[in-house]
Amino acid sequence: MHLDISDVSSFGAFTSELSALLERWGASRLDVVVNNAGVGVFGPLEAVTADDFDTVFGTNVRGTFFLIQSLVPLLAQGSRVINVSSSLTRHTSPATSVYSASKAAVEALSRTLAAELGPRGIRVNSIAPGPTATDFNGGAMRDDAGMRQGLAGRTALGRVGEPEEIGDAIATLASDGLRWMTAQRIEVSGGALL
C-alpha cells in the first residue's frame, strides 16, 4: 500500500483499505505502527522559506499526528507505536534547525500520546537514529564517502550506522522484551557528538 504522509486527506481511505487488508489476512487489529516517513529541508536560517518550513512540519509532525489519529481505531490492546526522531534533537548541526525542531516535536508528541493511549496498554516511544547510510536526503550519508568519513570521526564507534542497525533497534523496541517501556526516546547513533 502506498501513502503520502503529507496528504492528510487521504488517511481515511488508507485506513479503510488497511482494515480490509487486515480482514483478508484474518486479523482485525494492528500490533505495531512505525512512523518512519520524513523529509528534511536543510539550510541556514536566512535561506529557509515558509514553504520549506511547512513541508518539513507538514510531513514530520502533522502527518505523523494525523496518521496515528486515523489508525487508533485499528490499534490492538497492548500495541506499539514507534515514531522515528533524530539524534539532532540532542546535538546541533548547522543548517538543521527546522528539521531538528520537527523531530523534537515528534518526541513531545510521543510522550503525550503515551500518556493518552496508555490506558489501552498502547506503548508509544520514539527512536532517534544518528548518522545512518540510508537514502534519506538523496542518500548523502550512504553515497558521499567524504560525508561518511567526517561523520564517522564524530561518533564514539567511529562509523556511520547501517539501516539494519536502526531496524534491529526498532524491532527490539516493538518486542515484548521492552513491554514496560513507554514515553521514552531511544537514541541509536553510535555515540554521535558526545
99, 155, 160, 190: the active-site residue: 99
89 contacts 100 by C-beta, under 8 angstroms? yes
Three-state SS for 186? strand
Residue 99 annotated to the active site: yes
Q: How many CB atoms lie within 10 A of CB 190?
A: 22
12 contacts 61 by C-beta, under 8 angstroms? no
- The residue length of the chain stands at 194
**How far apart are alpha carbons 23 and 93 in whole angstroms?**
45
Which residues are known to be catalytic?
A: 99
